[in-house]
């Protein structure tokens, strides 16, 4: 008995069907379902199951294909399916399949209320039309540690490597600005076309008459300059309060 299939299945269509097709007749002996997060192979533990939900029922259909002793197909009715049902209750479970010595299949159809199914199929290839696969052991992957020059954990300044990489970019932004643009703010499409990008900051000193509340909100889509003063920030907050009202007035309005 050998492993003839191992992968993740996802249902498709209104009937929620998933299918496995073999290139030659296979006599299925066992189905194995892996629980979510379990490794699929002992020597490749990074390949893990995504089975979801934790328990469900399955209808499994095998196309009926009779074979002679020499492995050649017999005449058979088209699209004849043999159905069996299994109940998956969670954990690593094996389900035996008895196809007999004169039957094989090229198609396995799975139907059920599942989102993902990590499935392994074991069996025998019928006939000699294709060479038998000789399994080879998977060499365990052993990650190599970073050199001290590239490992932030071995430096007094963990940001030194990132700053060094940014210096390779012409007109590069500071590390703090790069972090804000990547993780906190999303530049608008118009900002990308401005020649000074990414050095485009929110204007906290705007005192024009058309600088209304909507303009303030749109202005804060850009990062605040790193060299702002406390006086600039105080004036900006005062102008914002003028638009929305003092905290006491807002609280009184809410309570009323």
pLDDT per residue, tens digit, the chain (256 aa), is: 889 999 999 999 888 899 999 988 889 999 999 999 999 988 888 899 999 999 999 999 998 787 765 545 555 545 578 889 999 999 999 999 988 777 889 999 999 989 999 999 999 888 655 556 677 787 777 778 877 777 777 777 888 888 888 888 888 888 888 887 777 777 777 777 778 787 777 777 766 656 677 777 777 777 777 777 788 778 777 777 777 765 545 444 444 4
> Which range of residues forms the domain containing residue 95?
2-125
Q: Give how far Cα 183 sits from Cα of 158, 179, 239, Å.
A: 18, 6, 28
The predicted structure's pLDDT at residue 72: 55
In a domain, 24, yes or no: yes
Same domain, 109 and 167: no
CATH number at residue 95: 2.60.120
Q: Is 201 domain-assigned?
A: yes
Q: Do 166 and 93 have their domain in common? A: no
**Shared domain check, 119 and 8:** yes
Is 27 exposed, middle or buried, given 0-12, 13-18 or 19+ CB atoms closer than 10 A?
A: buried
Q: Is residue 121 part of a domain?
A: yes
**From CA 225, how far away is CA 203, in angstroms rounded?**
8
- 82-102 burial code (b ≥16 CB/10 A, e <16): eeeebebeeeeeeeebebeee
Q: Is residue 105 in some structural domain? A: yes
**Do 13 and 119 lie in a common domain?**
yes
State how beta strands 56-63 and 103-112 pair: antiparallel
**Residue 167 and residue 115 share a domain:** no
Nearest alpha-carbon partner for 108 in 39, 49, 26: 26
Same domain? 120 vs 173: no
Q: 121 and 17, same structural domain?
A: yes
Residue 130 lies in a domain: no
Number of helices followed by number of strands (H, E) in the chain: 6, 10
Whether this model's pTM surpasses 0.85: no
Are 193 and 103 contained in the same domain?
A: no
Same domain, 172 and 104: no
Per the structure, how many domains does the chain have? 2
Mapping DSSP to helix (H, G, I), strand (E, B) and coil, where does residue 231 land?
A: helix
Within this chain, do residues 27 and 98 fall inside the same structural domain, yes or no?
yes
Q: Is residue 150 part of a domain?
A: no
């Amino acid at each position: 008995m050998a492993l003839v299939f191992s992968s993740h299945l996802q249902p498709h269509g209104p009937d929620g069907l998933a299918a496995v097709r073999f290139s030659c007749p296979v006599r299925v002996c066992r189905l194995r379902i892996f629980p979510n997060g379990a490794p699929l192979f002992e020597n490749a533990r990074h390949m893990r199951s995504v089975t979801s939900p934790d328990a469900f029922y399955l209808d499994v259909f095998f196309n009926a294909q009779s074979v002679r002793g020499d492995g050649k197909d017999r005449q058979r009715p088209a699209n004849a399916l043999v159905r069996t049902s299994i109940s998956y209750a969670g954990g690593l479970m094996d389900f035996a399949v008895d196809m007999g010595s004169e039957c094989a299949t090229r198609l396995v159809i799975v139907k059920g209320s599942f989102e993902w199914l990590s499935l392994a199929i074991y069996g025998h290839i019928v006939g000699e039309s294709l060479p038998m696969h000789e399994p080879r052991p998977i060499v365990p992957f052993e990650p190599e540690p970073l050199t001290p020059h590239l490992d932030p954990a071995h430096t007094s300044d963990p940001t030194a490597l990132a700053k060094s990489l940014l210096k390779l970019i012409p007109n590069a932004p500071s590390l703090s600005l790069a972090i804000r643009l990547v993780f906190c703010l999303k530049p608008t499409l118009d900002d990308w076309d401005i020649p000074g990008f990414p050095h485009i900051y929110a204007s906290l000193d705007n005192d024009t008459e058309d600088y209304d509340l909507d303009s303030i909100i749109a202005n804060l889509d850009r990062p605040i300059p790193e060299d702002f003063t406390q006086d600039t920030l105080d004036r900006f907050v005062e102008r914002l309060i003028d638009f929305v009202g003092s905290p006491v007035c807002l609280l009184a309005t809410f309570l009323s």
